[in-house]
Structure 1
Amino acid sequence: TAIFEMAAICGLEHISKEKRNPLALTTQGVGELIVHLVQSGIRDIIIGVGGSATNDGGIGMAYGLGYRFYDSEGQSVEPLGANLSLIKRVSSQGKIDLSATTIRLITDVDNPLCGLNGATYIFGGQKGLDPLQFERVDQSMKQFYKAFAPEVLHLAGSGAGGGMAAGLVAFADAEIKSGIDFVLDCVNFNQRVKSADLVIVGEGRMDRQSLSGKAPVGVAKRTPSGIPVIAICGSLKDDLPDFPVAGISAAFPIIGQVAALDQVLASAKENLYRTGLNIGNLIKLSQTL
């Protein structure tokens, strides 16, 4: 068994802000790593999908597996997000044989590939894509998959990783798994949570995306009714609905004062301690009432 994250290969954290362009960056290394693992004898591959700097629908990964892409004149097309609309033919002649390999991809979102809740509209902006390009890029992605693998268009989670999830399903016969459910199963969460008095979840910034299957909500959904769940986060975005929501009773941001980002990050330990202390005092107070 091999486990890796696509973000280790083409993650947003590796690209400086001035160089972020999800249509010009490739996921080819993901496919090349899969080939290397299979040729090394690995038969079970688990891939964490998310945090990518790319928006290519996974065609770069497919190229790394051996697929080739051609335009209407039979000319080879470079496998980049910017070129999705140019592809008219896909060749699988040189692809690696994955028939003896199981590939599972785990993701913390359930967004479909296209549409207003899809890969481009929801995640494109944070990767450096101009909002004025959203409609065109989304349509190119939709047209490509409508022609070559229409079954993935409305598959929950297929929009993860700039469409990498869709690509892995279409070109590598992968199966999408909920990331948080996969992890909770590994640690026998359902049994262990039964003895809890309180469940605390956390996230850097909780926003509406967090309600689409990310870790805090995944934990809350698996927590039995009667056991309260609270969230402690770096910050809370204003697009969140009022709490309680998605099984979380209340959420607490740890930032105590307006400050520059560097200062806020440097004060994380103290801010966490202060917030935890206040929550603890509140719990003690509630027990005396």
Structure 2
Amino acid sequence: MDPQDDLSRMLGQVLGDRAQPHVLSPVKVRSVATEVADRLMTAVAIGEYLPGERLPGERELASILDVSRATVREAIGRLQAVGIVEIRRGRTGGAYVRASWTEATASAVRRTLVPRWAELEQLFDLYSLVEGMVAATAAARRTDSDLSAIKIGLDAYATAGSLREEQLADRAFHAAIVTATHNPKIRTLSQEVLTRVALGFPVEPYGDDDREGYERALREHRALYEAIGDGDTARARTLAEGHFAITSEIMRGMLERSLSGSPDS
């Protein structure tokens, strides 16, 4: 048996898979395509997929969400109909995000997040604790090569010229920190919890083009790099736990927007 299967089964027990449905459960509702479309619209709203970015292909989405490709195709068609994606043909074709929020988004976000919210709050807490452990372990074990890789991600984030560049640099920065733990099981654990937080998609929510949020994240990235470089495990843990609270803030903000009843929601 694959050891990663053991880890996934253990996480399932810890996270209560056998007691109640969770965000990674196979989609089992009256209209599966509606559930998939809602989850995709929510993923776009919270910045997992940004305007101009190509969504994963049909086969990949079907595997992620444990549904048929025909269901994914129908769901993508619904996103196209409400203006969230456009379908491009040709060698680089696929479904590309046009807008992060449309008139159809608020109801989709409510249907996706409200029933899951109590569990998501627990997952946010778990995610911060896990990433605190990742940062502390990286501070204890990092090599000069690890620090160089983390610095590359930090510098790329500091000089990013677009939201997409920021997102890619953010991923590279945090991936380098996970690598610095020198434990593949920790990487698996981190990715597993992220996937559960992110509604089944293995990407970090990123939110809107918010300069204040970007400046905050940049300050926290720099502080985290310094703590890891100094081998300060306690400070690295504390910084990472606070930094990954940004994820919960993004998702809470999107839920509040969907419930606000404001004209742009």
Please indicate, yes or no, whether the TM-score normalized by the shorter chain is above 0.5.
no
Higher helix share: 2
* TM-score (normalizing by structure 1): 0.24
